[in-house]
Chains A and B, each alone.
Chain A
Amino acid sequence: MRSDPQSPRAGFAAEWHEVTVQYPFAKRQAVGPVSLGIRQGERVLLLGPSGSGKSTLLLTLTGLVPHSIPATVNGDVRLFGANVGTRQPWAWAAQVAQYFQDADQTLCGMRVEDEIAFALENRALPPARIAERVKEAMERVGVPESWCSRPTSTLSGGERQLVALAATLVQDAFLFIADEPTAHLAPQAADRLHALLTEHDPSRGVLIVDHRLDGLIQQIDRMVVLGENGTIIAEGPPRTIFRAKRDLLASEGIWHPVASDLDARLVAAGLAPRVAPLSVEEALAHLDPRTAPRGHVEKALPAVEAFVAEYAMQGVQTAPDAPVLARLVNADCAPFLGPTILRSIDLAVHEGEILGVLGANGAGKSTLGLCLAGLLPLKAGKRIGAPGGYAFQRPENQFTAGTVRDEILDALPKSMAAKAKAERVAAALLAWGLSGLESRHPFELSQGQKRRLALASLTVSDHWPLLVLDEPTAGLDMHGVSMLISEILALQERGQTVAVITHDMDFALRLCTRSIIVGEGGILADGPTQDLMRDTALLRRAGLAEPSCAKALQWLQRAVSC
């Protein structure tokens, strides 16, 4: 399937004609053949499973692949009708703004203000005009003025992502390319950025790769889906694709909006809305308990209940008298070489519990996680309890071995028999979808694969009774997250305690029996996740948002009370 601009045509911002990309020493093509076109003013979403070549495809657009990143590129890539190879990659910057998957790939290592101004300085704009546009971009993205003089290296992962977005948006280019722009952002910030990225502007084309679809997909004109082999497997308007190709997307492990699941259940119940929905509100709009025929509402009840159950708690509630595994007492927490950011923390985690750690970007969740695991010394107070393992936000930091197999092998006890080790490694590779990659160097893997390897090496042994997972879903496709959920549940069954730092409210709601909300220099709330998710004022205060199924839950309450 193709969107196939057969020849350079007016009105197309970007075109790929039968493009294939193969990296040196790779056995198979990273992408392609792909034929695709983005019209001016069009907002296109590119989806695909982890490792399907989405990022590579974006990098070919301005010639960074193969000019700066060696690879063999066949086919024709065109920007605004001109062959990309006719200019150096830097010469396209005025027309194309690129936001890369990792904020560090977008940022150049300066102060926040300089970072945002950089692209405009390169265009030799007058200083007053640059200052004005920098201020405007900071306001649009929500970068506080107090950050202006801070080096970007002092910001948290999510904060860097905000600055990188401001630095890209300030370019005001005709084509905006964004590779997972919201991967590390808290829900409110992600919603704001989705709105900014997809503001309708007939002169600006947008091509986004993002797994967080809720809040974004409604603004998308067309979506293109890459399969595992790097070719296009579906293309068209989101409403059509998510209803017509639902099974195909699911089999490829590609994300879809939660409304798509509800739609499937309503279709099965014979109550599907005429137009495929992209949000839960849309899916239930024709079934409003106050106005819809009572028979329809009653018929829809089981479907909606089943949908809510699917997104509701799957973790097992721990007994109230379960022993405390680790505890922070009146603790002051600070990042390495940084100032104290959390004060007087009292937090206990119980054996067999899955604890959610939620909060806005820069609230101190990672610092708290490291302190809870006993891996970061406290500034004040004390930590009591068992040692903890930690899955870092940047999985590369964990890797010490030369191959995927050795990485997992190293985590097993030295005293274990070789045969048992080999069996455990094989089981872990299979469970985390890493079979076939045993001999690869960990740094050669895609971001999603790296994350799965980091988690596999942490969970393969029973070294750590407490595991802290820092944004474990970032960069994972739907299959990856499903694997993660089942692995965490299996760990809980084995009596292990898990603390999950996440921005994904649906993920937290599914897994975490209890959650804490971090913010304003301390813990804002601590309680059952379901209760916290209902407190909209608290969620707003903490920069969070309701989980996607909240609207369905509200519909159920209304339907029952009517």
Chain B
Amino acid sequence: MAATGRVMLKALNPLSKLLVCVVGLAASVLVFDARFQIALIVLTGFSLVILNRTSPLLLLALMVPFCLFGFGFLTTSLLFRQDSDFAMRMAGEALLTSPAFSAGLTLFLRAVVCGMISVFFALTTDPGALVRALMVHARLPPRIGYSLFAAMLLVPDLASEAQQMRIARAMKSGRRIRRVPGPGEIMSLVIPLLAFAIRRAGRTAIALEARGLSPDSPRTVLNAPGFRRSDVVFMIAAILAITLCGAVTFTDINAFLSLPQVGYEEPT
């Protein structure tokens, strides 16, 4: 089941997944309710763990930057709201029931939802297939499409290039290479890496041209993913699930949840 799901998620047209992800992101922005955000997190996380066999630990690790980002919203909301009362906040129960906390919590969860949906898309989509699908189904100009290919592969090349430069510099200075480069070392690598990226971009442009990439002639795109019945099923199921999460949110189930007041209230 998991293996089938994994294959299925990867085999789906990237544009179907992109559409579902965009709907999910839009919903998380529009529905300002912590329960809805939690439902989306659970739904997306479970899909990844169960269907894509993503390690929960990896998922947690990937969520760390989004949590830190969301935590910024939470603290900002708590500390800088005009109607906040510092003394009340220091009293735990009052803090948890305050509108500022509710709003901050929802913003925090929204950041995590955005992260979770992005990770869902990234972990289940081959970037090459996405670019090809965009060229075939979304009329992305091939020149931009192939520039994207080159840019995607430039990242690992930059890492490897940076490593070689670090080795060369460590060798010249007669010290051992550090596991993690310091800020000074990073700054000194910026210009040479930029030069490498520019040189590489120029070479790639020449390579594309020399091998016949024209701005407007018709061309074949191999291995471009098409739309299948499974894409339709996935899109319907995913959008239904998101709608269901929204519907549950607006049902009065506060009594069953331990969460305090979670709806957003405009400050008076």
Binding site for B on A (CB under 8 A): 62, 64, 68-69, 88-91, 93-94, 98, 100, 102, 104-111, 113-114, 117-127, 130-131, 151-154, 167, 171, 336-337, 370, 373, 375-376, 387, 389-390, 392, 394, 396-398, 400, 410-411, 443, 463-464
Is the beta-carbon distance between A93 and B157 smaller than 8 angstroms?
A: no
Contacts A94-B212, A397-B165 hold; do A108 and B150 have CB atoms under 8 A apart?
A: yes
**How distant is the Cα of A64 from the Cα of B202 in the complex, in angstroms?**
12
Is the beta-carbon distance between A89 and B210 smaller than 8 angstroms?
A: yes
CB distance from B234 to the nearest CB of A (A): 24
* B76 close to A (CB within 8 Å): no
Is the beta-carbon distance between A108 and B222 smaller than 8 angstroms?
A: no
Is the beta-carbon distance between B203 and A102 smaller than 8 angstroms?
A: yes
Is the beta-carbon distance between A398 and B168 smaller than 8 angstroms?
A: yes
Not counting A109-B149, A336-B164, a sample of 11 additional A-B residue pairs whose C-beta atoms are within 8 angstroms of each other reads: A91-B212, A93-B210, A108-B204, A108-B208, A114-B128, A114-B222, A123-B220, A154-B156, A337-B159, A397-B161, A398-B168
**How distant is the Cα of A117 from the Cα of B168 in the complex, in angstroms?**
36
Q: Which residues of A contact B172 (CB under 8 A)?
A: 398, 400, 410-411
Q: Which residues of A contact B223 (CB under 8 A)?
A: 113-114
* B214 close to A (CB within 8 Å): yes
Q: Which residues of A contact B196 (CB under 8 A)?
A: 396
Is the beta-carbon distance between B218 and A375 smaller than 8 angstroms?
A: no
Is the beta-carbon distance between B210 and A124 smaller than 8 angstroms?
A: no
Is the beta-carbon distance between B207 and A105 smaller than 8 angstroms?
A: yes
Is the beta-carbon distance between A68 and B168 smaller than 8 angstroms?
A: no
Q: Which residues of B contact A130 (CB under 8 A)?
A: 220, 222
Is the beta-carbon distance between A337 and B171 smaller than 8 angstroms?
A: no
Q: Mark B183-208 against chain A: 1 for CB-CB distance below 8 A, else 0.
A: 00000000010011001100111111
**How distant is the Cα of A153 from the Cα of B169 in the complex, in angstroms?**
23
Q: Quick one: which of A89, A122, A167 has the most chain B CB within 10 A? A: A122
Is the beta-carbon distance between A127 and B220 smaller than 8 angstroms?
A: yes
Q: Which residues of B contact A396 (CB under 8 A)?
A: 196
Nearest to A65 among chain B residues (CB) is: B206
Candidates B156, B168, B174, B220; contact of A153 at CB < 8 Å: B156
Is the beta-carbon distance between B212 and A123 smaller than 8 angstroms?
A: yes
* B18 close to A (CB within 8 Å): no
CB distance from A91 to the nearest CB of B (A): 7
Is the beta-carbon distance between B149 and A121 smaller than 8 angstroms?
A: no
Q: Mark B67-98 against chain A: 1 for CB-CB distance below 8 A, else 0.
A: 00000000000000000000000000000000
SS class, residues of chain B in contact with chain A: helix
List the 3 closest pairs (A to B, CB-CB), nearest first. Answer: A93-B212, A122-B212, A109-B150
Is the beta-carbon distance between B149 and A110 smaller than 8 angstroms?
A: yes
Is the beta-carbon distance between B153 and A110 smaller than 8 angstroms?
A: yes
Is the beta-carbon distance between A64 and B209 smaller than 8 angstroms?
A: yes
Q: Which residues of B contact A464 (CB under 8 A)?
A: 171
Candidates B157, B204, B214; contact of A122 at CB < 8 Å: B214
**How distant is the Cα of A123 from the Cα of B159 in the complex, in angstroms?**
34
Is the beta-carbon distance between B207 and A106 smaller than 8 angstroms?
A: yes
Binding site for A on B (CB under 8 A): 128, 146, 149-154, 156-157, 159-161, 163-165, 167-172, 174, 177, 192, 195-196, 199-200, 203-214, 217-223
Q: Quick one: which of B149, B154, B163, B171 has the most chain A CB within 10 A? A: B171
Contacts A109-B152, A114-B222 hold; do A104 and B212 have CB atoms under 8 A apart?
A: no
Nearest to B211 among chain A residues (CB) is: A119
Is the beta-carbon distance between B212 and A111 smaller than 8 angstroms?
A: no
Is the beta-carbon distance between B167 and A110 smaller than 8 angstroms?
A: no
Nearest to B195 among chain A residues (CB) is: A443
Nearest to A69 among chain B residues (CB) is: B206
**How distant is the Cα of A48 from the Cα of B43 in the complex, in angstroms?**
66
Nearest to B174 among chain A residues (CB) is: A463
Q: Which residues of B contact A118 (CB under 8 A)?
A: 211, 213
8 contacts between A and B (CB under 8 A): A90-B208, A100-B206, A100-B207, A109-B154, A127-B222, A336-B159, A336-B164, A337-B156
Q: Which residues of A contact B192 (CB under 8 A)?
A: 400
CB distance from B37 to the nearest CB of A (A): 35
CB distance from A111 to the nearest CB of B (A): 6
Contacts A108-B150, A114-B223, A124-B219 hold; do A376 and B210 have CB atoms under 8 A apart?
A: no
Q: Which residues of B contact A376 (CB under 8 A)?
A: 167
CB distance from B215 to the nearest CB of A (A): 8
**How distant is the Cα of A11 from the Cα of B161 in the complex, in angstroms?**
46
Is the beta-carbon distance between B219 and A122 smaller than 8 angstroms?
A: yes
Contacts A122-B214, A131-B222, A398-B168 hold; do A108 and B163 have CB atoms under 8 A apart?
A: no
CB distance from B251 to the nearest CB of A (A): 47
Candidates A91, A152, A390; contact of B167 at CB < 8 Å: A390
CB distance from A398 to the nearest CB of B (A): 5
Is the beta-carbon distance between B210 and A64 smaller than 8 angstroms?
A: yes
**How distant is the Cα of A389 from the Cα of B161 in the complex, in angstroms?**
18
Contacts A109-B152, A152-B153 hold; do A90 and B212 have CB atoms under 8 A apart?
A: yes
Is the beta-carbon distance between A167 and B211 smaller than 8 angstroms?
A: yes
